[in-house]
Structure 1
Amino acid sequence: MRTMGGMQKTSSRLLALLSLLQTRPDRSGDDLAERLGVTARTVRRDIGRLRDLGYPVTSVKGPAGGYRLDAGTRLPPLLFDDGQAVALAVALRTAAAGSGAVAEDAARALTTLRQVLPPRLRHRMDLLSVTAVRPPGDRDADRTDPEVLIALSRAVRAREELRLDHRDGSAERPRRVQPHHLVTRRGRWYLVAWDLDREDWRIFRADRVRPRTPTGPRFAPRPLPGGDVGGFVTGRLRGGDGTTADWPCRGVVVLGRPAAEVAPFAPDGIVEELGPDRCRLTLGSWSWTGLAAALGRFDTGVEVVGPPALREAFATLAARYADAARPRP
Structure 2
Amino acid sequence: MANTSARTLRLLSLLQTHRYWPGEDLARRLEVSIRTLRRDVDRLRELGYPVNASRGVDGGYQLAPGAALPPLVLDDEEAVALVIGLRAAAQSGLAGVAESSVRAQAKVIQVMPPKLRRRVEALRAMTVSPGWGGGAPDLGTDPDALVKVAQACRDAERMEFDYTAADGARTRRHVEPLRLVSLGRRWYLVAYDLGRNDWRSFRVDRLTEPARTGARFRPRALPAENAGEFVRQRVRGPQQQTVHEIQALVRAPAEAVRRKIGRWAEVAARGEDSCLVRMTADALEWPAMALGSLDAEFTLVDSPELRDYLTTWAGRFGRAVA
**TM-score relative to the length of structure 2:** 0.44
Point out the structure with max Rg over C-alpha.
1
TM-score w.r.t. the length of structure 1 is 0.43
